[in-house]
Amino acid sequence: MRIITAIAEMQAVAREFRSSGTLGLVPTMGALHSGHLSLIDAAKRDCAHVVASIFVNPLQFGPNEDFSRYPRTFDADCAALTSAGIDVLFAPSAETLTPAGATTFVEVAGISDRLDGASRPGHFRGVATIVAKLFHIVAPHRAYFGQKDAAQLAVLRAMVRDLNFSVEIVACPIVREPDGLALSSRNRYLAPEQRSRATILRGALDAAADLHARGERSSHALTATMRGVFAAEPSVIVEYAAVVDPGTLLPLADTTGGALIAVAAHLGETRLIDNHLIGADHA
Ligand code: AMP
């Protein structure tokens, strides 16, 4: 695996790759786990060449968020990516990708203020700006993202549509621990007692999905069920428990046409998210 840190070199190598087959890109912030590696596997199945990126994006962290303590495990990440068999790791420095004086940002209006964007102002502007830069530098045919970050997917799909990027966004299923907790680089922040309570996010989603499977279509009823599950664990602070359109992230009154049910909750200092997609009736 070749490690590239310079933009011009990445552009040249990506150009070569594109001329000889499908090029896939897997953007990450490192601290890799099996969720990230599932994106790499999907990219490897589809594409002749795979580039992964590691960049802890300063633009997507708020002033009181965990940028400085975000886990950085570069050597272990390189070992995992080497055994996964990718062609190139693009790992630019912050100075390279976000140079002082840059004044251009990508703002996906509306969607960026919903779900996670509501409590993390500027977060999706930071995500969209850096992913747009990665798309320009690598110009992949396909880019792989996790369904785990459902709001991020909606923002990036809107960006690709609105700015005419010729990249196909591929969404990959959520990879979970055996007890249902969605894998996340932030799970390592959890103290043991928080870790055992963290399954409540999946529990709330399961309760709502079960209710839907039994015929309930009212978003209000599904939301109340999720809130009821969370109420049993007052130390877990719910940020949102929502039933929304997966494309626009706007609230839905009912789930007949399909829906994204999504939760965010705080366990101490650690913020976790999870979601579940409900298909349209008769889809
Ligand atoms: P991150 O390093 O957290 O920015 O994540 C990089 C990519 O991995 C994003 O597209 C995430 O949605 C995806 N990802 C993170 N956790 C999971 C998971 N548990 N299952 C599937 N994809 C994931």
Atom of ligand 1 nearest to the CA of 147: 12
Find out whether the beta carbon of 123 lies less than 6 Å from any atom of ligand 1: no
Closest to 115 in 3D by CA, of 267, 278, 268, 246: 246
282 pLDDT above the threshold of 80: no
Q: What is the tens place of the pLDDT at every residue in 48-85? A: 999 999 999 999 999 999 999 999 999 999 999 999 99
Q: 185-277 belongs to which CATH class?
A: alpha beta
CA distance 117 to 130: 16
DSSP 119-143: HSTTHHHHHHHHHHHHHHHH--SEE
% the chain with pLDDT above 70: 100
The CATH number assigned to the domain with range 2-172 reads: 3.40.50.620
Residue 131 CA to ligand 1 centre (angstroms):
14
Q: What is the tens place of the pLDDT at every residue in 164-194? A: 999 999 999 999 999 999 999 999 999 999 9
Find out whether the beta carbon of 148 lies less than 6 Å from any atom of ligand 1: yes
Exposure string of 14-33, with b = 16+ CB inside 10 Å and e = fewer, is: beebbeeebbbbbbbbbbbb
Mean pLDDT across the stretch 106-113?
98
Query: 129 near 105, Cβ under 8 Å?
Result: yes
CA distance 172 to 229: 27
CA distance 120 to 64: 10
Find out whether the beta carbon of 212 lies less than 6 Å from any atom of ligand 1: no
CA quadruple 181, 158, 249, 271: dihedral, nearest 10: 40
Give Cβ neighbours of residue 161 (< 8 Å, ≥ 6 apart).
none
Report H helices in the chain. Answer: 7-19, 34-46, 74-84, 94-97, 116-119, 123-138, 150-163, 192-197, 200-213, 219-231
Atom of ligand 1 nearest to the CA of 175: 20
Q: Report the SS3 class of residue 154.
A: helix
Find out whether the beta carbon of 39 lies less than 6 Å from any atom of ligand 1: yes
Query: 175 near 35, Cβ under 8 Å?
Result: yes
Residue 171 CA to ligand 1 centre (angstroms):
10
Find out whether the beta carbon of 146 lies less than 6 Å from any atom of ligand 1: yes
Find out whether the beta carbon of 182 lies less than 6 Å from any atom of ligand 1: yes
CA distance 127 to 63: 15
pTM exceeds 0.85 for this model: yes
Residue 108 CA to ligand 1 centre (angstroms):
20
Q: What is the tens place of the pLDDT at every residue in 133-168? A: 999 999 999 999 999 999 999 999 999 999 999 999
* Token reading at 75: 């050597």
Q: Kindly list the catalytic residues.
A: 36
Ligand 1, atom 5: nearest CA belongs to which residue?
28
Give the start-to-end residue ranges of the domains of the chain: 2-172, 185-277
